[in-house]
Every structure is written in structure tokens, then in C-alpha cells.
Amino acid sequence: MENWGMITYRETALLYEEGVSSTSNQEWIATVIAHELAHQWFGNLVTMEWWNDLWLNEGFATYMSYFGVDKVKPEWDLKDMIVLNEMQSVFQVDALATSHPLSSNKADVQTPAEISELFDSITYSKVLFIVPIQIIKEESPKKIEHDLLDEIGPVTKDAYKAKDKEWVLANVNCTGYFRVNYNPENWERLLQQLNDSHDVIPILNRGQLIDDAFNLARAQYVNVTLALNTTKYLSNDMEYVPWESALRNLEYFILMFDRSEVFGPMKAYLRTQVAPLYDHFENYTLNSTVPKSHTAQIHPNLKSTIYCHGIAAGGEKEWEIVWERYQKATIATEKDKLRYALSCSKDIWILSRYLQYTLDPTKIRKMDAVSTINYIARNVAGQSLAWDFVESQWTYISEEYGGGIMSLGSLIDGVTQRFSTEFELQKVTCSNDILFPVPMNAVQLKRFQEDHGEDTLSSGTRALQQAIERTQANIK
């Protein structure tokens, strides 16, 4: 929290332990510190007149977090991550009818709940593509030029004609805040270029072509086959941005179909695509010189994955071992990895017990309760359990955890990711004879909205509206 002169942090956003914390932990810590330091100016010494312009505070701080870290660690190429972490994420929210403008009228933002609702990805991320809209020339500090607001050329053209076999690529390096769709012929030419020589297309655009295609397919502007075809070339691409763009979009299909008959072929396809990438890094690792200080310990970058799969393949004994390690862990980043791994169990009763632990601060700290529930909801075996738990415990949850900015919104978003059916609540029997519901539908979400007014929904009001809208889109 960016208190003037006395910033407070979660341990995982401040403390890095060499050999234990992962690279992603290091990047997260660096960007959070830069974000909070930027707030010493944007938000503390210089503050917007009212909460309706909150984006000025958070947007500038987010922008400076990337800019600041890039100055200190240019080799990280962290500015490229803006496309993945900010642009692609905020597009998902901004496409919903329940999105909101960056700046609202003062009259529309008066209550604590209305203020809390503004702390979302629109406020934090969208502004990265709006700044700067004004330029102050050095030779005339008092003169403001609106160069970027003036028309440079026609905004709309009927067609950009290309010669035979040539392709057109728009929004080069993803500097504009918009998606791009092409006619079928240009899509095919771009796909052919990716297959023939993908390096001709900039890395960021390779990622954005994939993200645009999948989201255009979900909106029914292009067919799903075209979107899937954007991933075929990936077996030859070793760059992070295109792969992460593909995996995040394929995650949607996994959430929708991981309990259906198409999940098997989907996994087989993914394994085929990933195999060359695995071979590349296996060879790179084998050819590397092993330092004398090397131990048999798991590399920090692999811990989350290995811990999770270990718990998923194990049973109660393995879960209890990791639970004990979690309780004794003193390094914050390690403790977080263990807490996430505990949510990977396939045993329904273990997940149910773990959910109950989130109500006991002596077992799971209050600050970790919401993310723990969301971890369980990401597990195909735990999603229905998580929703049932949240619904039954909502009064307690809203009272105990509702004070945190974005907490309730994050919780509602997390436990509704798989919602995609119009069927009434059904009960199925799992292997150990415990009954649990299949995914809820939009009607039941609306009922939840009616049962819990704004007094208890608080900052989660808009998140619930977005969950309803997202579920309706998933059904289509």
C-alpha cells in the first residue's frame, strides 16, 4: 500500500530469496515496488480531485512500474509483457457491456462500494494505451500541444489492397488499443507466413494475432478452425509471448471442455505442439555446464508445476506432508507455492476440507483466503465445490474479506470461470459418494445477485454482473 513515506507490502511482493524464489517472483516484486514508488507522486503528492478519475493514479503508476523496471533491468524486456499482462487481459473485460469508462461523472461515484468497483483492470491497465494524450514542449512549458488528438489521416478506409500473395499486418508492435480482423484471404496469407518464416512478423504481433483470432472466434467473427490454425506454427517458435498468448486462450477451451469427450484430442494436440519446445530446452539444459554448487533441489521456476502435479497424483498422505511443509515454511514465496499446490488434489473430500480451512485464520491467513478459494476453483474437481462454498458462506466472506480492494470481485470472477450451462443445478456422485453440483448457470447467478444485495456484494457487484454476462456468452 502506497502510504506516503511508509509503503507496506505483502511479503511475496517484497522478499526475494535467491535459489528459492522464481524468476516470476522476482519480476513481480520489482514491478510492485516500482508501482508503489510511483504512487509517492501519482496518488500522494499529486492526487486527482475525486475518485471518478482514479485511473490517473493507478494508470500512471502501472505505466511507471514497467518503465522503471525496464530502466533497471533492460535485459528482462519487461515492456513487452505489457501486451500479455495488460492489453490482452483488459480486452477481455472491456469487451463486456458491463465495462465502464475510464473517467465517470462525480455524481456516479459517491459510495464506498462505487469507489471500490473502480479498482479493476480498466482502471489499472487500459490507461497504458491512453498515456500520453498531451505533449508539453520543453521550449514552451506552459504551452500544451494536442498533437496526438489531431487527425493525421482518414480514420476509416474501405480497403487496404495488397498484391497477390502479399499480406497486410495492422497495429505493428501492438501500440494501438484495438483488435484487428482481416478478410479470409489475408488471414490465410498471414498463417502461411507464420508457417514458412514466422520471424518476419514481430514477436508481439505473433502473440496478438493468436489472441485476436481466438477472441474474434469467441465473438463469432471468424471460425474456431482459423483461431486454432494460428497455433500450428508454434512448434517452430521458441519465444515466450506467442506461446503464452496461445496457452492463455487455449485455457478457455480447457475450462469449457475438460469434462467432455473432446478434451482427450485437445490434450494430444497440445502435447504434439509442445514436444519441440520441450526438446529444445532439454537439449539446452543438457549442453549447459553444471555448476559445482548444483544440488538435486527443484529449480525455483519449476516448483509450482512439480508441487501441483505431485499432489494431484498423490493422496491424503502426500497432501498432509505438503500441508506440514506449508505450515513450517518461513520464506513467503515458497509458502505461496505450497499453498497453491495443496489446491491441486483430485480428492473431493480433501478439497472440501481445504475450503473450510480458509475460514480459520490460524490455518490460512485472511489475506490468503480469497486466492486459496480461487486456486481450488481452477481445479476441475474443485470448481463446483468452491462455488457452493462461496454461496453458503457469503455473509461471513463479505464481512471478513470484503474490506480488501478487489477481493470480492476477484473471488466472484475466480469461482465462475467455468460457468457455461443452462441446465438446472444437478447432482452427481463422485467416486467417494460425496454429492457435489455441476457448474451453475446464468439464471442461478442472477438468483445469487437477488439474494445478496449491494450491501453484501459491495465491490463484487460489477464482477457478478460480468460473470452473468460472461456465462451467457459461454453458453452461446
Residues 328 and 469 in one domain: yes
425 and 444 Cβ atoms separated by less than 8 Å: yes
Which of 459, 319, 464 shows the shortest CA–CA distance to 379?
Answer: 319
Active-site residue numbers? 36
Output the tens digit of pLDDT for each of the chain's 476 residues.
888 889 999 999 999 998 899 999 999 999 999 999 999 998 889 888 899 999 888 888 998 899 899 999 999 999 889 999 999 999 988 988 888 888 888 998 998 878 888 888 888 888 888 764 443 444 445 544 444 445 555 556 666 667 778 999 999 999 889 999 999 999 999 999 999 999 999 999 999 999 999 999 988 899 999 999 999 999 899 999 999 999 999 988 888 777 778 888 888 888 888 888 888 877 777 766 556 565 668 889 999 999 999 999 999 999 999 999 999 999 999 999 999 999 999 999 999 999 999 999 999 999 999 999 999 999 999 988 998 899 889 888 888 876 666 678 888 888 888 877 654 233 222 222 333 333 445 555 556 665 655 555 556 777 777 877 877 777 76
Grid cell for residue 12: 511475496
User: How high is the pLDDT of residue 23?
Assistant: 93
Residues 193 and 320 in one domain: no
**End residue of a domain, out of 96, 130, 164:** 130
User: How high is the pLDDT of residue 463?
Assistant: 77
- Spell out the residues 6+ positions from residue 23 whose beta carbon is closer than 8 angstroms to its own: 300, 301
User: How high is the pLDDT of residue 158?
Assistant: 62
Residues 45 and 120 in one domain: yes
Place of cell 483430485: 346
Whole-angstrom distance, CA of residue 293 vs CA of residue 295: 6
User: How high is the pLDDT of residue 280?
Assistant: 81
Domain that holds residue 258: 172-176+178-282
| CATH number of the structural domain spanning residue 269 | 1.10.3480.20
Residues 275 and 342 in one domain: no
Q: Using a CB cutoff of 8 Å and minimum separation of 24, what contacts does 63-72 make?
A: 63/127, 63/128, 63/131, 64/34, 64/35, 64/38, 65/31, 65/32, 65/34, 65/35, 65/38, 66/31, 66/34, 66/128, 67/34, 68/34, 68/37, 68/38, 69/27, 69/30, 69/31, 69/34, 72/30
- What ranges in 171-262 are assigned the alpha helix state H? 184-197, 203-218, 224-229, 240-257
**End residue of a domain, out of 265, 282, 299:** 282
Residues 257 and 341 in one domain: no
Q: Which amino acid is at 167?
A: W
Residues 59 and 206 in one domain: no
Residues 324 and 440 in one domain: yes
Residues 326 and 461 in one domain: yes
- Beta-ladder partners of 290: none
Whole-angstrom distance, CA of residue 20 vs CA of residue 294: 13
CA 371 to chain CA mean position, Å: 13
Residues 73 and 210 in one domain: no
Per-residue pLDDT of 117-164, as tens digits, reads 888 888 888 888 876 444 344 444 554 444 444 555 555 666 666 777
207 and 242 Cβ atoms separated by less than 8 Å: yes
**Number of domains making up the chain:** 3
